[in-house]
Each structure stands twice: as structure tokens, then as C-alpha cells.
């Protein structure tokens, strides 16, 4: 996510920090580099032009302080302008005075509305809300069944009734009130392109249910086409905000920067992966920090707090204290890490300097799955007593897990490193929020 921008800005900012003073000459060189980075990231040309002019104006008129170098001040100006470009501040969902709060998801077919509806429901459920999913796509085959399956997986109810779209949604609102569901998420129908029939149906729904939130679901990988789609939906529906999907697959990120400026509506959520928990609230300041290589530790901590089972973490902590930490516990640790997100998404939230120190080479995306397979191929006795794993047992485990003896040795080495580190810590307390994390 934003990999292209991160790499481009990283090079520029490393050069800037070494500048002793800001002149028209080095500003010109820097801004030309910034312009190239933004344009190659598929940011709209007009947006780039305004961004460059704003940075230039503020840089030439800046007053230096004793605590910051000119290069550092220039970095701050670029950061501030990037935050402004992304929408200035985080935008929360509008809440209905009388529940349920209605959220209508709109967008083209293939943008990921149905999957996103389930992810949004899971996001709200983790925040102690009680969502109800409503399939309102009567045109795409199996759209309703897809939402039912996702609802069952997440233990979130899905309201399904036969009849016209308007009637179904009206009944769903009454059902939500009677069953104490405080949020209604409507998965509307999409089309392969914007047409009059599609828009008429959406306008009818808006008039009928008066949703507090109309979110445009857009595939980030569509680039500049996403801007045109956003403009069309904004003109007819007066959107509340944007929900960008597949951000984990879009290394350029230009659509995100362009859409906010094109329709003057905020990005509210971004999809960062395929799992139900891979949906983040969009915070311009945090995203700007990520783009500029400064990391996003706050979001990482929030994801850890959401994902980690504190009761399970406490049990593992006690086992570590008593020197009774087994391979079964090690596998539980790995599953906890897996809930947080992919290793790439975790690394993406770390500052650039720390990220490069921790990993000289890209992490193996299949490493966690491979490690789980190895441990699951062991007998219960072997998991609880790793010391009995001789050469023949390791070869059997490798065959059973579809790996190699070297892979088995790697897992065991990781396990023994944790055990030895715990023993060395002795009487020192292991923080609960770290006891269940292993990279």
C-alpha cells in the first residue's frame, strides 16, 4: 500500500534532511522530484500542480528556528501538505438520533461491495456495535447467498426477504429496531458501468430510507477511472465519504490522493487485505506518516489490542514465567500474530529505518502457514516435549507437513530462542501485550 510513494518520498526526504539552507535552487530540484513521484503514482495532474505550488509558496516564506534545520522544516511542510491533500482529519460515521444508523454502500460491480459490507459489519462489531446486513442486490446471481455466508462466518445477522429492493430495506429497518440492531448496512447492486437505471434505483433508496451515510466503494486499482466514478456518484447522491478497497494490491496510491480533491469528500475506510479484520478507518495524518516513511505505530498498537486475546496472553505469560512454554503455546502465538494482519501490513506501519533494520529481505508471506503445518504434524507428546525431537522424528514431521527437515529445524530454533530469552529474563516481568507476539 502506497509503496511507490513511500519509496519515492523516502529518497527525496533523505536528501532534504541534509540541506543546510533552503534556496530557490534546491527547492526547485526537490519539487521536480516530488512532481515525478506523484505523477508516476497516478495522481491527477491538476492535483499535483496545486500541491507543488502550495509547497513552494510555504517553503520560500518559512522562518527557521534554532531547533530545526531548514531540511527538517521542508519535510514538515511536505508532510502538512500531504495531510491536507488526503483530507486534513479523520471523518467518523454519522450516527442516527433514532437507531438504526443506516449505511448505504454504492459503487460499480466488481469493486468489492459485498465483501466490504461484511468487513464493515465486523469492524463495527469489534467496537461493541450491533450491525445488521441487508442484501439489496437482486440482479447479481448469488449476491444474497454470498452475504449470508459471510454473515454466518462473522456471526452477524443478515436480513433476507423476498420482494422489491425498497420494500426489503424498509422491512429491514423495522426488524433492526425490534431486535435492537443499532446499525444497518445495505449492500446495493452495482453495474459494470454507470447507467441511468442504476442511479434511479439508488436515488429511490436514498429518498426512501434517508441513510445517515452513503459510502462509495471503489477499487483502488482502477486509478484515474476511480476519480470519474466518484464524481458521477457524488453529483447524483451527495456522498458521505469513500471506502477504498484492495489498497494492499495498489502500490501506487494515486487514486486515494486524487479522489479527495476531486469531490471534496473524505476517504473514511480502506480495505487492506482479504480477511474480515482487514479494514481500517482512514486517518490522513497517519497515512501521510506512512507515505513519508515515518510509520504508523498508533494504528499497529490498535490492531494488536483488537486482535490479541488478553486471557490467552496471560496464560502464556504464566507458562513463560514457570519455564513451561511448549510448541503448542508457540503455535497459539503465531495464530495471534496472524489475526493482526499479514507481515507486509505490519511492516508497513513501522518507520522506514526500523523496517530496514529488522528485515534486510522481504518476509516470506507463507512462513506462518508453513510453521503451523509443521507443529500440527507433531504428536501431542512432541509438542509438549520438544527435546525428544531427534533426526528421524524431524524427517517424519517434514514429510507430514510437506516441508523439509531444514524448515523443521528453523521452527525449533525459533522456539528455543524464545525459551532461552525467557529464561535469561528471569524474574523480570513480561508485558502482557508482548507475551503473545512473536515475529
Residue 136 CB contacts under 8 Å (≥ 6 apart), including other chains = 165, 168, 169, 186, 187, 188, 189, 205
Mean pLDDT of 185-198: 86
Looking at per-residue pLDDT, the higher value among 369 and 121 belongs to 121
**How many C-beta atoms lie closer than 10 Å to residue 332's C-beta?**
18
Q: What is the mean pLDDT of the chain?
A: 80
Q: How far is CA 436 from CA 152, 358, 372, 398, 432, in A?
A: 28, 19, 16, 26, 7
What pLDDT is attached to residue 252?
A: 62
Residues facing residue 105 across a β-bridge: 187, 215
Query: Which is the CATH superfamily of the domain at 101-300?
Result: P-loop containing nucleotide triphosphate hydrolases (3.40.50.300)
pLDDT at 67 over 60: no
Distance CA 6, CA 82 (A): 12
Euclidean distance between the first and final Cα of the chain, in Å? 21
What pLDDT is attached to residue 300?
A: 56
Burial class (CB in 10 A: 0-12, 13-18, 19+), 282: buried
pLDDT in tens, 75-84: 778 888 888 8
Looking at per-residue pLDDT, the higher value among 16 and 272 belongs to 272
pLDDT in tens, 249-260: 655 667 777 888
pLDDT in tens, 312-331: 666 766 776 677 788 888 88
Distance CA 369, CA 335 (A): 9
pLDDT in tens, 154-173: 999 999 887 788 899 999 99
Query: Which is the CATH superfamily of the domain at 301-435?
Result: Signal recognition particle, SRP54 subunit, M-domain (1.10.260.30)
Q: Does domain 3-86 have CATH number 3.40.50.2000?
A: no
**How many C-beta atoms lie closer than 10 Å to residue 94's C-beta?**
14
Burial class (CB in 10 A: 0-12, 13-18, 19+), 97: exposed
**How many C-beta atoms lie closer than 10 Å to residue 215's C-beta?**
26
pLDDT at 223 over 80: no
pTM over 0.75: no
Where exactly are the structural domains of the chain? Answer: 3-86, 101-300, 301-435
The region that residue 283 occupies, defined by phi over 0 for left and psi between -120 and 50 for alpha, beta otherwise, is beta
Amino acid at each position: 500500500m502506497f509503496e511507490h510513494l513511500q519509496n519515492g518520498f523516502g529518497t527525496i526526504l533523505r536528501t532534504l534532511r541534509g540541506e543546510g539552507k533552503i534556496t530557490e535552487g534546491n527547492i526547485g530540484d526537490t519539487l521536480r522530484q516530488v512532481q515525478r513521484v506523484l505523477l508516476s503514482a497516478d495522481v491527477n495532474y491538476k492535483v499535483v500542480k496545486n500541491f507543488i505550488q502550495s509547497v513552494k509558496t510555504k517553503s520560500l516564506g518559512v522562518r527557521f528556528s534554532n531547533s530545526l534545520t531548514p531540511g527538517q522544516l521542508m519535510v514538515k511542510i511536505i508532510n502538512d501538505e500531504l495531510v491536507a491533500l488526503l483530507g486534513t482529519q479523520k471523518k467518523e460515521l454519522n450516527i442516527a438520533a433514532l437507531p438504526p444508523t443506516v449505511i448505504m454502500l454504492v459503487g460499480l460491480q466488481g469493486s468489492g461491495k459485498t465483501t466490504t459490507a461484511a468487513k464493515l459489519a465486523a469492524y463495527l462489531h469489534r467496537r461493541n456495535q450491533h450491525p445488521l446486513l441487508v442484501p439489496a442486490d437482486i440482479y447479481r446471481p448469488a449476491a444474497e447467498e454470498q452475504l449470508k455466508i459471510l454473515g454466518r462466518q462473522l456471526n452477524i445477522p443478515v436480513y433476507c426477504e423476498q420482494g422489491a429492493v425498497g420494500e426489503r430495506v424498509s422491512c429491514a429497518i423495522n426488524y433492526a429496531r425490534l431486535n435492537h440492531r443499532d446499525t444497518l448496512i445495505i449492500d446495493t447492486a452495482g453495474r459494470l458501468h454507470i447507467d441511468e437505471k442504476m442511479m434511479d434505483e439508488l436515488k429511490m433508496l436514498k429518498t426512501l430510507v434517508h441513510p445517515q451515510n452513503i459510502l462509495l466503494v471503489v477499487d483502488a486499482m482502477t486509478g484515474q477511472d476511480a476519480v470519474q466514478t466518484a464524481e458521477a456518484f457524488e453529483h447524483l447522491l451527495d456522498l458521505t465519504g469513500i471506502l477504498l478497497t484492495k489498497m494492499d494490491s495498489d502500490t501506487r496510491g494515486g487514486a486515494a490522493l486524487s479522489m479527495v480533491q476531486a469531490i471534496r469528500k473524505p476517504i473514511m475506510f480502506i480495505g487492506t487485505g482479504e480477511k474480515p479484520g482487514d479494514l481500517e478507518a482512514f486517518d490522513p495524518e497517519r497515512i501521510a506518516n506512512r507515505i513519508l516513511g515515518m510509520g504508523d505505530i498508533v494504528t499497529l498498537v490498535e490492531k494488536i489490542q483488537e486482535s490479541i486475546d488478553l486471557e490467552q496472553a496471560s496464560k502464556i505469560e504464566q507458562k513463560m514465567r514457570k519455564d513451561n512454554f511448549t510448541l503448542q503455546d508457540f503455535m497459539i502465538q503465531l495464530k495471534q500474530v496472524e489475526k493482526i494482519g499479514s507481515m507486509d501490513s505490519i511492516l508497513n506501519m513501522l518507520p522506514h529505518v526500523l523496517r530496514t533494520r529488522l528485515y534486510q529481505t522481504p518476509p516470506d508471506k507463507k512462513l506462518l502457514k508453513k510453521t503451523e503445518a509443521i507443529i500440527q504434524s507433531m504428536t501431542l507428546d512432541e509438542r509438549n516435549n520438544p527435546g525428544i525431537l531427534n533426526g528421524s522424528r524431524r524427517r517424519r514431521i517434514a514429510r507430514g507437513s510437506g516441508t523439509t527437515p531444514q524448515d523443521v529445524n528453523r521452527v525449533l530454533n525459533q522456539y528455543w530462542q524464545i525459551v532461552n530469552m525467557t529464561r535469561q529474563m528471569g524474574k523480570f516481568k513480561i508485558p502482557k501485550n508482548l507475551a503473545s507476539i512473536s515475529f
